[in-house]
Amino acid sequence: MFSRLAAVLVLLAGLLVVAEPQAATAAALGDVVPVPVSVQPASGVTFTLASGATISSDDTSTGDYLAALLRRSTGYALPITSSAGTIALLLSGADPNVGSQGYQLDVTATSVTIRAQTATGLFNGVQTLRQLLPPAIESATVRPGPWTVPGGRIVDYPRFAYRGAMLDVARHFHSVATIKNYIDRIALYKINYLHLHLSDDQGWRIVIDAWPRLATVGGSTQVGGGAGGYYTKAQYQDIVAYAASRQITIVPEIDMPGHTNAALASYAELNCNGTAPPLYTGTDVGFSTLCTTKEVVYTFVSGVLGELAALTPGPYLHLGGDEASATSASQYAAFLNRVQPMITGLGKAVMGWHNIGASGVNASAGRVVQFWGTTTSDSSVTNAVSQGAKVVMSPANKAYLDMKYTSSTTLGQSWAGFIEVQTAYGWNPGAYLSGVASSAILGVEAPLWTETIVTEDNIEFMAFPRLPAIAELGWSPWSTHDWNAFKARLAQQGPRWDVMGIAYYHSPQVSWPVTNRYEAESATLSQAAVATNHTGFSGSGFVDYANVTGSYVQWSVTSPGGATSLKIRYANGTTTNRPMDVFVNGTKVVSATSFNGTGNWDTWATKTLSVTLTAGTNTIRAVATTANGGPNVDYLET
Ligand code: NGO
């Protein structure tokens, strides 16, 4: 073992070296996720947003949205003008190919013009413009710029009409604020539907006036037994309106006849035996069912759907229909044959997990089935399609954001396999299911189930970078599909997420640009020594801790503040987990037990930590927790 036997070297050299951010390379015109349909760069031309710039828009809300976004980080006034602005959003003159969701973007040395046929198209063009500006444009505080955009023309429109994300707010409840943040983030990737899984065995999350105990009892817990929660009608409508302001339609799901323990616990009469079961806080599936032979169940379902439809301007009500293992096949079909017409009768179309395509279940006008299997053929899907249904593709082994990235991902599940970003990107939604023509595919959706997902950071970590991969499959033409090109564009999103405070998974499959690297040997050290006799380190050395519990490396990191990720490169001579505790501004954020043993002193590993930094200078301290055997630290990256 490499040990430092003699005197403890106290190296308080005062080397508080703050790394310089690398100059951000200017984006090329096509460096956008999802990649645009057509990109014609104008070589040598760039537009620079200046303090005197103005904005004009044929659609007031999109103009206001853009101005608010740009004012935050530029600090410029950017007044909205009625005459043509420096940045002009026009509802006329677009290439006719853009259709109802696409846009045309023209960037010259002196102006930026987005043309579209609809406000949705303008909004999508604004998302492209955002990504063509430097990452600092996402800062919540004023930054210096320069605010350049590469010149040329983009003509862009989606491959599929439906590009969705789903958040399960039933297994763990998530606040209105968290949902709004998620909406803001998915909008950047031109996602246009947010499916909310509002009920399950563990919780009922929306107030229904005629059945108040659903929320007050059914909403009173969650997986693990926490307090749970529910949305009032006003809160749900606030979410719907906020989503609409980001051109996103909410698809509410009430899962039935299975996944209903929260409802069954709230109202005894919904159970065949007339007895309410206890609330459930585990993660099993397939054990609950509404009593499909009781008339009161249909009164209940009709009442719930009616109140939900009244709150929901979008075209779909999602009735779940998955894993109804506690319901017989004939009862399942009979139930759905009564419930589907309730939805169409409310002027909505039925959406459900693909199980609702089972034989015996009738066709329903405008029906959409959501494929969540792990196979490439499915008889329920082909049956539904033969009856006229459209399909949203969410294959669990590709598109489920709750699957672990690798076996060492702490969060998530693995029943459908591990999903690294290349796997999430590597499938064709239009040609995935045998016997299902691409014309039957309405689009894609990336569901995030929350059995293990508790915090907003957890959501971000699982969604980024996979959600943008699914978004690109939904938007970009298949002819553009290219992993190497995608991962290069994806890498450029990393600095943007850093500025936005998104705690993303630093997939080793992607060469994320390093923003700042802080070498350990240049940091403040206590009872430690700089060593240079192991291979593979970066800079002029690494720090070999003294064999004293409590010895530390301390970095000084400047930050704009907010949630971010830190990467520590370390090695230890053990196979067990024992290197160091990490403190941010005096608070322990990671305990030594979560650092993997690397097994050897020259076997370097990195660990990414999700942390919240304060604006200004932060102190990051990595403290040895063992008197023997390590660790070695190479650097900290932000
Ligand atoms: C399945 C199941 C959900 C789980 C999820 C976890 C569907 C449609 N039903 O997907 O209840 O939460 O897996 O990955």
Q: What is the pLDDT of residue 243?
A: 98
Alpha-helix runs per DSSP H in 189-328 = 213-216, 233-245, 261-266, 295-311
Average pLDDT over residues 131-144: 92
Q: Among residues of the chain, what percentage have pLDDT more than 70?
A: 94
Phi, psi of 488 (to 5 degrees): -70, -40
Question: Residue of the nearest CA to atom 9 in ligand 1?
Answer: 322
Q: How far is the CA of 265 from the centre of ligand 1 (A)?
A: 21
Average pLDDT over residues 312-338: 97
Is 323 a pocket residue for ligand 1 (Cβ < 6 Å)? yes
Q: Which among 25, 24, 17 is positioned nearest to 539, based on CA atoms? A: 17
Given a cut of 80, is residue 428 above it in pLDDT? yes
Q: What is the pLDDT of residue 528?
A: 77
Given a cut of 80, is residue 339 above it in pLDDT? yes
Residues sharing a CB contact under 8 Å with residue 386, sequence separation 6 or more, in sequence order: none
More confident residue, 92 or 537: 92
Assess whether 269 carries a catalytic annotation: no
How far apart, in Å, do the first and last CA atoms of the chain sit? 30
- Cα–Cα distance, 437 to 208 (Å, whole number): 39
What is the C-alpha R_g of the chain?
27
Is 413 a pocket residue for ligand 1 (Cβ < 6 Å)? yes
Given a cut of 80, is residue 562 above it in pLDDT? no
Asked if 297 and 290 count as a contact pair (C-beta separation under 8 A), the reply is yes
- β-pair type (249-256, 316-320): parallel
CA distances from 143 to 352, 467, 537 (A): 46, 28, 34
Give the pLDDT confidence of 366-376 residue by residue, as tens digits. 999 999 999 99
> pTM of the prediction?
0.82
Q: What is the pLDDT of residue 4?
A: 36
More confident residue, 113 or 594: 113
CATH topology of domain 162-500: TIM Barrel (3.20.20)
Q: How far is the CA of 44 from the centre of ligand 1 (A)?
A: 50
Atom of ligand 1 nearest to the CA of 171: 12
Q: What is the pLDDT of residue 534?
A: 83
Q: How far is the CA of 371 from the centre of ligand 1 (A)?
A: 12
- Cα–Cα distance, 137 to 496 (Å, whole number): 8
CATH 3.30.379.10 fits 29-156, yes or no: yes
Average pLDDT over residues 488-496: 95
Given a cut of 90, is residue 574 above it in pLDDT? no
Asked if 182 and 194 count as a contact pair (C-beta separation under 8 A), the reply is yes
Q: How far is the CA of 317 from the centre of ligand 1 (A)?
A: 18
The single residue listed with the structure tokens 């509802």 is: 91
Q: Which among 473, 324, 464 is positioned nearest to 395, based on CA atoms? A: 473
- Cα–Cα distance, 181 to 460 (Å, whole number): 10
- Cα–Cα distance, 202 to 220 (Å, whole number): 9
More confident residue, 589 or 269: 269
Residues β-bridged to residue 206: 231
Average pLDDT over residues 495-511: 91
Is 449 a pocket residue for ligand 1 (Cβ < 6 Å)? yes
pLDDT band at 8 (very low <50, low <70, confident <90, very high): very low
Is 637 a pocket residue for ligand 1 (Cβ < 6 Å)? no
Q: What is the pLDDT of residue 563?
A: 66
Question: Residue of the nearest CA to atom 5 in ligand 1?
Answer: 449
- According to DSSP, residue 324 is labeled -
Least confident of 128-142, 217-231, 339-353, 599-613: 599-613
Q: What is the pLDDT of residue 15?
A: 33
Q: What is the pLDDT of residue 414?
A: 98
Is 285 a pocket residue for ligand 1 (Cβ < 6 Å)? yes
Q: What is the pLDDT of residue 21?
A: 37
Given a cut of 70, is residue 11 above it in pLDDT? no
Strand boundaries in 332-431, DSSP class E: 349-353, 368-371, 390-393
Q: What is the pLDDT of residue 441?
A: 98
Which helix or strand (DSSP H or E) is residue 468 part of? helix 466-475
Average pLDDT over residues 380-406: 98
Give the pLDDT confidence of 434-460 residue by residue, as tens digits. 999 999 999 999 999 999 999 999 999
CA 138 to chain centre: 17
Asked if 528 and 489 count as a contact pair (C-beta separation under 8 A), the reply is no
Q: What is the pLDDT of residue 10?
A: 30
- Cα–Cα distance, 475 to 36 (Å, whole number): 8
Q: Which among 448, 444, 406 is positioned nearest to 427, based on CA atoms? A: 444
Atom of ligand 1 nearest to the CA of 394: 8
Given a cut of 80, is residue 246 above it in pLDDT? yes
User: Which ranges in the chain are annotated with CATH 3.30.379.10?
Assistant: 29-156
The single residue listed with the structure tokens 């999508």 is: 124
User: Which ranges in the chain are annotated with CATH 2.60.120.260?
Assistant: 517-637
Average pLDDT over residues 276-295: 97
Average pLDDT over residues 576-604: 84
Q: How far is the CA of 212 from the centre of ligand 1 (A)?
A: 26
The sign of the torsion formed by the CA atoms of 52, 56, 60, 66 equals negative
Average pLDDT over residues 353-361: 97
Average pLDDT over residues 228-244: 98
What mean pLDDT value characterizes the chain?
92
- According to DSSP, residue 403 is labeled B
Given a cut of 80, is residue 20 above it in pLDDT? no
User: Which ranges in the chain are annotated with CATH 3.20.20.80?
Assistant: 162-500
Q: How far is the CA of 449 from the centre of ligand 1 (A)?
A: 7
CA 271 to chain centre: 37
Q: What is the pLDDT of residue 25?
A: 45
Average pLDDT over residues 580-597: 87
Is 231 a pocket residue for ligand 1 (Cβ < 6 Å)? no
Average pLDDT over residues 31-48: 97
CATH topology of domain 517-637: Jelly Rolls (2.60.120)
Atom of ligand 1 nearest to the CA of 259: 11
Average pLDDT over residues 487-502: 93
Q: What is the pLDDT of residue 24?
A: 41
Atom of ligand 1 nearest to the CA of 353: 8
